[in-house]
Structure 1
Amino acid sequence: MLSLQIKEAKAREADGSLGAGGGGLSAAFGNMKLQRRNTLDMSSKPPTPTAEPRGFVDYLQDNERANRDYVEGVPRSLEQAIFTPPSRVGSFFAAESPMGSLPTGSLQSNFLSADTKFLPEPMLPAEREKKIREAKQTPTFELVRKVNKLQHLMHAATDKGQTLRRQLLSGAVVVIICAGYSGKRFIYERAKELGVRLVIIDGPDSWSQTLVEDGVIEKFMPLDMSDPGAVFHEAVKLLKEIDAESGGIDGICTFWEVAVPLVARLAESLGLPGNPSLAVDTARDKYLTRKALEEADLPTPSSCMIYCKEDIPKAASAVGFPAVIKPVNGAASLGVVKVSSMEDLTQAYAKVMDIMSTCSVSDPHGTSGQGGNAFITEVMMEQYLDGDEVDVDIILSDGAVTYAKVTDNLPTLEPWFNETGACTPSLLPESKQDELVETSSKMLRAVGLTTGVMHVELKYTTTNGPQLIEINGRMGGGPVRDMNLAVWGVDLVEEQLMASVGLPACPPLPEKPIKCLGQYSVNAKKSGTMGEAFEKTLEDLRKLPNVVSVDPFVKPGDKVVGVQDGMPTWIADITVEKETAEEALAYVQKLEAEMEQPIF
């Protein structure tokens, strides 16, 4: 929205003829044609070469952490990605053969590096504003100028306001950087329903190129990612090509964690809407986030960096026990361990460093033998937080909070902090929910995030109130989008697309929850191999009353890990609906407790 504000000011200087009067929606459009200039046919050029007949690259979809999607990691080996024939893309268990059938360079070519050191330095605020001022007006902004007299309606959190924003969004050209795994197809299908013209830039063998033939997106542009240092500059070239070919890009967006820093820098370089890259980097680094909160006088747990084993005594003295150690930029609770003494800390540090060298988000148990997140070498020790854990899903529009709802999380499985379930609407008192929303909003402001959908994880501690676990500068994964849509009628995908083109993201809200949901992420109770009876167990669950969905993360024959032996494997998600949130939570917990796990 900063770009929209700057361009509006610039436009007013050049053209003072646009009124600020009122008028109904139908009256305003009565004699007005909202014709975009970016309507050029992007299919006029020869089709982008595909990977046929060898197939397409996707994430290993029977890996529970890729599908759970609270975070997404980068496959570290060919064994952690899959070869998927075109006819099976999007199918849950789509893998036909390992990617060993593709060239050895395919992994590096197709998956973006998660290391931001290869990207340009973040722009300073003055430089960023200068870029925005110098950039040409996007087609969406030109439409906004045409309906300038409906500014109040365009910012209104009403059905009429949403109708206007959807009309302005329809036809927008939005470039998606890195499509993620094929389970994200629903995002791109929703964009198509909204009339958004999507172009996806991804690795040359990405599954997402099949979306062109399916009519979901308009164009796929391959980007070789084997040279991380060249990715940004090559992406800029592709964006300029798309801009010329389409008649104008309206926005750049991603729903994939690893691509968030790249997207922020690309948007900055072209003067397009988005979050400052400095804010994105701060939010993704847990230690920098804590420092930003301290400077803003916001609550944050005590923490200390551990750069090497010699720093352990200093960290223990600064933080005390009980505590948690975690990688500063890890994900999915990988390498997060609770410690209660100096002996625990010493042993856990060695264990975490081993995990970082042998495991990754895509391979949490280190079974591939291909190594882990080699770039994650810094560990942070942090005060252990007790109390209720929650998620706060927030929409920011020009820095203002236009939507914020609390979802209760069930206690995680310690010492691994594996998620177990959620309940929405929240059962916490309204006063606590208000405090959590207010604190989360201040935290986002402190790190500098201003635009789009955010997912903030906190604990409401027994002694110090709200305390941050982490900030995710993107839409939450897993059931987050579906739960917000079902309970509050707010489509986080739609609102992120609005924000990406510079439109206000101000969804209308119901006076009370539409539904009450309980969700459980079932963890393996012991290690072993999942038996054939697992499929019948899931089918029996689906037949029960008030069960909304039962989604498997493993299949018969898969190896699973129990909590006693390491980070436990998620085996399924169960979601139920009841008249009240209390009933939904009790019911889903009952189903999980009674669920048979045929592990041998």
Structure 2
Amino acid sequence: MLSLKIKKEKEEAAANGGGLSSAMGGLAISRRNTNKFEDEDADSAPATPVGYSKTGNPLVDYATSVKSTRDPVEFAPQSVEDAVFSSSFGAKTNAFSGGAAAVAAPSPGSLKSNFLTEEVLQALPRPLSPAERERNIRQSKQTPTFELVRKVNKYKELINSPTSEGQGLRRQLLSGAVVVIVCAGYSGKRFIYERAKALGVRLVVVDGPDSWSQTLLEDGVIEKYVPLDMSNPPAVYNEALKIISEVDREVGGIDGICTFYEIAVPLVARLTEALGLPGNPSKAIECARDKYSTRKALETAGLPTPSSFMIYSAEDLPKAAECVGFPAVIKPINGAASLGVVKVTSLADLIASYAKVLEVLRTCSVEDVHGTSQGSEPAGEDGKLVREVMMEQYLDGDEVDVDIILSDGKVTYAKVTDNLPTLEPWFNETGAVTPSLLPRRKQEELVEVSKKMLKAIGLTSGVMHVELKYTTTNGPQLIEVNSRMGGGPVRDMNLDVWGVDLVEEHLMCSVGLPSLPPIPEEPIMCIGQYSVNAARSGVVGEEIEAELERNRGLPDVIKVEPFVSAGDKVVGFEDGMPNWICDIMVKKATAEEALAYVKKLDAEFKQPIK
């Protein structure tokens, strides 16, 4: 078979810097960008203490708040203590975790230097017009990957084939590609970069000067780490462009730029536009991130979208009620973790709930959505957590996620995952099951409307995560579009059930290769996931560890991930937005069995809350 010949030839040509050669009809080729990166750590340079950055500061990590167990929200911590990296690399954390090894004082402005903010996004240059984008693409030099594809043009049909042989050839073409990652996100995304390394992708990470991601260089996962100071928002884009241009010259040509971190997506779009590299139009990315713009784009395209109204003060409540009607939902436009999201059924309910939401936003934070932190102070005017609330039509029916791959504007993969009913009025997530249990007709309708929505927004390339509801009266209705791979276990669920690696496919798209994964006719396995919500308010007892271990030892349990520890204060359903105790994931032969099993485990889970 051709794929076996290619594999054999790749091994023989490894010393030549990768690429394809005589296995393909006697054609000898190799990558242009085979230069090694300069070693910036001279032998005379002092060793960096474990747990510290090259600047001498403790490593920092993005904090996360669980929006749902399938898609954590990342945000810049409010203090250096919150930001200190301490969760994913075992012994490395001990060097600065307290005791005798006290944490060194960070340099002034350390937090602002290390984390992207909305200020940076607001300072980005305007999106290019289609004509300007086309001009940049035409004027840019061919990337090494494009050169490889051109040289093996006789295998064009195979390259564009959604078969295992085609996938094998695309992997050969991907191997050796140099991809710049702009902002690695939180440390839980390490698996992404390890997978890229396994695929032979040469990664360059551009991130904050004290980011945890520089440990990837020390561990041999990436080939280069370049610090990017983010403290001056207007300068970030130009500095990133300068860094990437220097990397391009050093290595002999980069193949692509990408990110798996939500807030960095607009920056990456601007960079790929400027350099004529594969990627989505910046205008489309901006539209996807702005819920109001998204809904306007859908309206223009004649696609379904819920009615909504902005609430700036209590004086707007009667008008909002008149415009949207009941039942409805009020929610902060920039909230996270379902913070302040409440269902309302009448004007009186709206007035009362609006006051409660404002109080929640005053006393809670993104880090502590339940307001359980000991000694926490109200967010106050300086917190600037939330300023605006939206009232939106309540969407009943089945909630789903549609994971989609776009390749050159075409959908090459689309699968539906069912979200289990949320706990109202707080809309807390309870779990998921995949493949979907909805009738095939509904699944096809959800996929079709998702395709149309992505097209209306203008997205053309990469992995997308679309959240919708199939309502009882109006069919599919959009919740939101995420123009990047879903977080949490989304990648693992698609890989386990359908054999499609969303990390691999996003990398393919980032270098301009076709993304055409082979898809089995039937699921490889079926997965159920359940998020155990706190049954009552109180303090978690020490028995929680034994209960978690008991569940891990049960048949067909893939993972049990705790969200609380002994001694933590939790909120139960009756008192407010409940905490998640843990997440349980199982595998079964059918989706029905998987769903029934996780529900059974939830019912039997002993919650030691006192």
TM-score in same-fold range (> 0.5): yes
Equivalent AA in structure 1 for residue 61 of structure 2:
D
1:545 aligns with 2:545: no
Unaligned runs of 5+ residues in structure 2 are 1-19
Residue by residue, what CA displacement relative to the aligned partner does 1:303-331 show, whole Å, maximum 9, x if unpaired? 12223433222221111011012233444
Equivalent residue for 1:437? Answer: 447
Shift of the 562–81 alpha-carbon distance from structure 1 to 2, 3 Å rule, reads farther
Structure 1 residues 370 and 195, CA gap change in structure 2 (3 angstroms) = farther
Aligned pair in 2 of structure 1 residues 89, 274: CA closer, same or farther (>3 Å)?
A: farther
| Aligned equivalent of 2:600 | 590
* Offset of residue 404 of structure 1: 0.3
**C-alpha distance in structure 2 between counterparts of 1:497 and 1:310, whole Å:** 49
Whether the 8 Å CA contact 2:329–2:342 is kept in 1: the answer is: yes
- The alpha carbon displacement at 1:360 in A equals 4.5
Q: Hey, what does 1:328 align to over in structure 2?
A: 333
Distance 2:592 2:261 in 1: 33
Deviation of 1:383 after TM superposition, in Å, equals 0.5
The answer to whether 1:267 aligns with 2:272 is: yes
Equivalent residues of 1:131, 1:271 under 8 A apart: yes
Q: How does 1:72-111 map to 2 (within 5 A)?
A: 72-84=74-86, 88=90, 96=97, 101-103=105-107, 105-111=109-115
Pick one of 116, 130, 147 that aligns with 1:112. Answer: 116
Q: Find out whether 1:201 has 2:210 as its counterpart.
A: no
Of 158, 168, 173, which aligns to 1:168? 173
The correspondence for 1:56, drawn from 52, 59, 67, is 59
Counterparts of residues 306-325 of structure 1 (less than 5 Å): 306-325=311-330
CA distance in 2, matches of 1:221, 1:149: 38
Structure 1 residue 449 corresponds to structure 2 residue 450: no
Report the CA distance shift for 1:304/1:95 in structure 2 as closer, same or farther (over 3 A): farther
Whole-angstrom CA distance in 1 between matches of 2:385 and 2:125: 18
2:559 match: secondary structure: strand
Structure 1 equivalent of residue 28 of structure 2: 33
Task: Tell me which moved more, 152-161 or 362-371.
Answer: 362-371
Answer yes or no: is the 8 Å Cα contact 1:337–1:415 preserved in 2.
yes
Check conservation: 1:276, 1:448, Cα contact below 8 A. Answer: yes
What SS is found at the alignment partner of 2:573?
coil
**1:161-208 CA-partner distances (Å, limit 9, x unpaired):** 111111111111111111111111100000000000011111111111
> Deviation at 1:34?
3.4
Deviates more, 1:405-414 or 1:106-115: 106-115
RMSD (Å), alpha carbons: 2.6
Unaligned runs of at least 5 residues, structure 1: 1-24
Residues 407 and 587 (structure 1), Cα distance of their counterparts in 2 relative to 1, 3 Å cut: same
Question: What are the residue-to-residue correspondences of 1:186-265 with 2, within 5 Å?
Answer: 186-265=191-270
Aligned length: 574
The structure showing larger relative contact order (alpha-carbon pairs under 8 Å, at least 6 residues apart) is 1
Q: Normalising by the residue count of structure 1, what TM-score does the alignment of the two structures yield?
A: 0.90
Q: 1:54 to 1:79 in 2, by over 3 A?
A: closer
Counterparts in 2 of 1:415 and 1:530: CA distance versus 1, 3 Å: same
Task: Answer whether contact 1:255 1:474 (CA < 8 A) is retained.
Answer: yes
Q: Report the identity percentage.
A: 67
| 2:5 aligned partner | none
Return the letter of the residue paired with 2:117: S
Q: Is the 8 A contact 2:370 2:579 kept in 1?
A: no
Structure 2 partner of 1:475: 485
Partner SS for 2:75: coil
Please give the secondary structure, in 2, of the residue aligned with 1:58: coil
Letter of the 2:27 counterpart: M
Q: Partners in 1 of 2:414 and 2:513 — Cα distance?
A: 18
Map of 2:15 onto structure 1: none
Counterpart contact for 1:306–1:381, Cα < 8 Å: yes
Q: 1:142: Cα distance to partner?
A: 1.0
Matches within 5 A, 1:119-518: 119-356=124-361, 359-365=364-370, 367=373, 369=377, 371=379, 374=384, 376-518=386-528
Paired amino acid for 1:96: S
| Cα distance, 1:26 vs structure 2 | 9.4
Distance 1:358 1:114 in 2: 23
CA distance in 2, matches of 1:267, 1:355: 40
Higher mean alpha-carbon deviation, 365-374 vs 194-203, is at 365-374
Classify 1:319/1:67 alpha carbon distance in 2 versus 1 (closer, same or farther; 3 Å).
Answer: closer
Check whether the contact 2:68–2:337 (CA below 8 A) recurs between aligned residues: no
AA aligned opposite 1:321: F
Q: What's 2:8 paired with?
A: none
Return closer, same or farther for 1:505/1:353 CA change in 2, 3 Å cut-off: farther
| 1:362-415 Cα deviation digits (max 9, x unpaired) | 342454548487375333211101111111100000111000000111001122
- Secondary structure of 2:118's aligned partner: coil
| Counterpart-to-counterpart distance in 2, 1:383 and 1:370 | 30
Q: Which amino acid aligns with 1:126?
A: A
Residue of structure 1 equivalent to 2:13: none
- Work out whether residues 56 and 85 of structure 1, in 8 Å CA contact, stay in contact via their aligned partners in 2: no
Aligned to 1:16: none
Instruction: Please give the secondary structure, in 2, of the residue aligned with 1:133.
Output: helix
Q: Name the SS for the 1:71 alignment partner.
A: strand
Q: Post-superposition shift, 1:89?
A: 7.5
- Tell me which amino acid in the other structure corresponds to 2:236: V
Instruction: Answer whether contact 1:72 1:361 (CA < 8 A) is retained.
Output: no
The DSSP-based 3-state class of the residue aligned with 1:312 is helix
Whole-angstrom CA distance in 1 between matches of 2:549 and 2:488: 21
| Counterparts in 2 of 1:128 and 1:355: CA distance versus 1, 3 Å | farther
Provide Cα deviations, 1:38-77, integer angstroms capped at 9, x if missing partner. 111114333797616653112347x656986433233233
Distance of 1:99 and 1:585 partners within structure 2: 46
CA distance in 2, matches of 1:359, 1:102: 27
The code of the aligned residue for 1:110 comes to N
